[in-house]
Each structure stands twice: as structure tokens, then as C-alpha cells.
Amino acid sequence: MAQIPHEGIYYFGGRDEDGNILNTIRILKVDQNPIGWIFPEIDGKPPSPRYGHSMNYNQLLNIIVIYGGQNDDCYLNDMHILNVEFLMWYKVEIKGQKSISRANHCAVSYDSKLLIFGGLNEEGYVSSQIQMIELDETLSQQMYDKDLQKQKFIHEQSFKQQRLNNEQRKQDKVKQEFYEKRKSIDASALYRYYEIHNYNYDEIPFSTKLIQEEKDNLSVKSQVEKLNFNNFVSFMPLPNKSNGNKLSRLLSYKNINQANKLQNKNSNNQSSSSLESSHSKSPSRQLLQKTVNTIISNMKHS
């Protein structure tokens, strides 16, 4: 059974006769004659001064719950708990959905929960939805973890749906491009049909003429790009491997012939007739002449 050192009616906050906003606990003792007020000493940091708040006793947890209210500056959405047995204040962090600031609301303690309804704030009347706060720490953590799993599941489903939507948009785009291409082909075929059957230009549908004109413009553009000098290619044929070998042999022969001429020019001074005779009888001269004839013959046959 819960222990209550001071039985009576507990009061917190409000205004005094001078209009000052209070944040102290007062207990009205009704089990004595005459009845009277006591002001117990309480440990911990008390809530800020306020009025218009809710104050509920939870018998299961043996606590008093202070929620919301207002002061002269703003409306409040915090929650504080007074342990009745030890007379100590605790500030509670509300997890999950953000709590709504409100004052002059209704609240009731049921089992280990606090149910809150109505009230006023800066925006006027608060929504008629009932806010439920779990006061038991263990149950509150379980509810918080369950909410996290639910939010994670919703996020995953939303991500999957978004991915499916992206895939659907891609497929729709491909279909649209296909239909546009098909439409362009059909329009070109119709245009040729109209031309073959000698239709007047004014009798051809405007959409068909428009698509055909766009296609003609693209064709002209591609033809201009082909004539661009950046794409210039020389058509001069390159020598093949056999011709290259023949050309190198001719160049080698020319160099040898020039070398022999220089050597004969620097030799002893002989008569021109005897020099020509010696050249005609020289074995190297005959070999070179034979080589040249062979090369020229091979080139002709190739």
C-alpha cells in the first residue's frame, strides 16, 4: 500500500491575493480540527510558476503529475512529477510525439497513464484529440521502441513506393519516346503518301507538315555537319607494303650509284674513253645494272 506522509488536499501554483504566480506546494489538512494549511519541505527543483495547469494523483505509482499551464509570457507543455512518499520533484522528458502547449485543459489519471483533452494556447482552442502519456518508465520505453519500429516500417514502405514511382516514371518516359518516334514515322509516311497522290500542300494536316519540317531541318543539319572541315578526310591512297619495299630498293640503288660516281671522279686522271671502258667492264657496274633491271622488271609485273 502506498505511503503518504501528509494526507490532505494538495495545491500547486496559481496566484495569491496580490496576483503573484506561485510554484509552491500547499497541503490542506482536513483530518484535524480545525483544518489548516501546511507548507512541507520538498527536495528537487520545482516546476516554474504557472496557473491553468492540470494536477493529478496516480495511486498506482504514488505520484502527483503537473502538466502544462501558462504564465504571463507563454503557454507550457512540460510535465513534472512529485513523489508523494519522499516529497521530491522530478522533471519528466516526454518521448515520441511532441507534446502540445496548452492551459485550462482537462486531465485524468487512469492505470499508469495520463489522458489529456482540450485546452487553449496561442493558436486558440486545442484539437479535440486525446493525448495519452504513459507514466510507467518501463512501459513508456516499450511504447517508444514500438513507435520507432513503426516509423521505420513506414519509412521503408515510403522509400519502396518512391522507388517504384521512379521506375514507373522511367517506363512512362520510354513509352512516350517510343510513341513520339512512332508518331514521327507515321507522319513522315503520311507526308510521302500525300506527295505521291498529288495532294495540295494546304490539304495536308498541319501536324503532319510540322513533324516533317522538323525532320527535314534535322536532315539538313546533319548534311552541314558532314561538310564541316573538322571532319575532313584525305582520300589519297597510301602505298602498300610491296610498293614500299620496291621504293626503298630504288633509293638504295640511287645512293650506291652516286657514291660510285664520286669515287670515280676522285680517281686518277684517265682519259674519258678509257674511263667509260673500265666502267663498262667493271664487275660492280654490271652487278648494279643487273639489279636495277631486275627491280624495274618486278615493278612492271606487279
Cell numbers 513506414 correspond to 154
Amino acid type, 148: L
- Are 86 and 58 part of one and the same domain? yes
Mark residue 11 as left, alpha or beta (left: phi above 0; alpha: psi -120 to 50; beta: remaining): beta
Q: Are 291 and 253 in contact (CB under 8 A)?
A: yes
- Are 162 and 118 part of one and the same domain? no
Task: Give the count of beta carbons closer than 10 Å to the beta carbon of residue 34.
Answer: 5
pLDDT at residue 179, rounded to an integer: 65
- Are 100 and 179 part of one and the same domain? no
Does residue 263 sit within a domain? no
How is 159-179 classified by DSSP, letter by letter? HHHHHHHHHHHHHHHHHHHHH
pLDDT, tens digit, 9 for 90 and up, residues 154-186: 888 888 888 888 888 887 877 777 666 656 655
Domain that residue 178 falls in: 147-229
Domain boundary among 101, 135, 169: 135
Mark residue 119 as left, alpha or beta (left: phi above 0; alpha: psi -120 to 50; beta: remaining): left
pTM (2 d.p.): 0.51
- Are 225 and 204 part of one and the same domain? yes
pLDDT at residue 47, rounded to an integer: 95
Amino acid type, 170: K
Give whole-number Cα distances, 276 to 5, 137, 261, in Å. 149, 127, 12
Low-confidence ranges of the chain (pLDDT < 50): 229-236, 238, 241-244, 246-247, 269-281
Positive/negative CA dihedral, 126, 132, 136, 142? negative
Amino acid type, 36: G
Closest CA to 81 of 43, 38, 121: 43
- Are 157 and 44 part of one and the same domain? no
**% of residues, the chain, pLDDT over 70:** 60
Does residue 257 sit within a domain? no
Domain boundary among 229, 261, 291: 229
Does residue 302 sit within a domain? no
pLDDT at residue 274, rounded to an integer: 46
Does residue 235 sit within a domain? no
| Helix extents (H) in 114-201 | 137-196
- Taking the C-alpha atoms of residue 38 and residue 6, their distance in angstroms, rounded to an integer, is 9
Domain boundary among 82, 107, 135: 135
Does residue 99 sit within a domain? yes
* Structural domains counted in the chain: 2
